[in-house]
Every structure is written in C-alpha cells, then in structure tokens.
Amino acid sequence: MKRFYSPFFAIVALLFSFSFAEAKSKGHGHGGDGAKTYKILHVDPTSITAAAGGKAENREVFGIDGKTKVTINGIPAMASALQNGMKAKIQADAVHTAISVQVGE
C-alpha cells in the first residue's frame, strides 16, 4: 500500500504547485487581463496615485519602475506623459508595482 501513496501525493503536490504558480502570476484587478479602471490623481517619477471609480476614498498608490508598460491610445509612452484626471486601466503585481498602464483604447 505504501507504494501507492508516494506517487499519488507527489502528483497531487505537483498539480497544486502549477495551479498556485498560475494564480500568483496574474496581476491585481478585475477582468481577464487583471486590469482595473482608475482615475489618475497624481503622478511622480516613482509612483501613480489613482482612485478606483474616481472616488478619492478608493485611492491606491502604484509604484512605477523601468518595466512598467505605459500606452496612451495604443501608442507606447513614458510614465511622465500621464496626467492628473486621465482614466486608465492599471494592472499591478503583488507588491503594488504597476505592470501596465493603459489610457484610452
């Protein structure tokens, strides 16, 4: 009977690790791409302060780094091109660093 348990638990552990890795790789937010819509309240060189639903009490701060992909109307842009009041889809990782910021389309 011991021969059955070892391979069985090894397979279960392997399947669990794959499903956990897939869930961890998805960003925070809603929708299929993991992005959530925000209104940008403030932008500085290292972060974006944005509010979900445009409400100030729902504000969140996202870090910006060299890997953050910013697009405005589908065109790649620098984070410095973001302006207060813009509506953007922001996808972030587990430590609240922006992975992508999409303004417009």
- Band of pLDDT at residue 36, cut at 50, 70 and 90: confident
Q: How far apart are CA 50 and CA 59, in angstroms?
A: 5
Q: In CATH, what number is assigned to the domain containing residue 97?
A: 2.40.50
Note the pLDDT tens digit of each residue in 38-63: 999 999 999 999 998 777 788 999 99
Residues 103, 39: contact at Cβ < 8 Å? no
The domain tally of the chain equals: 1
Position 57 in a domain: yes
Q: What is the DSSP letter of 11?
A: H
Position 19 in a domain: no
Q: How far apart are CA 23 and CA 51, in angstroms?
A: 25
> The domain containing residue 57 runs over which residues?
36-103
Note the pLDDT tens digit of each residue in 68-100: 999 999 999 999 999 999 999 999 999 999 999
Position 42 in a domain: yes
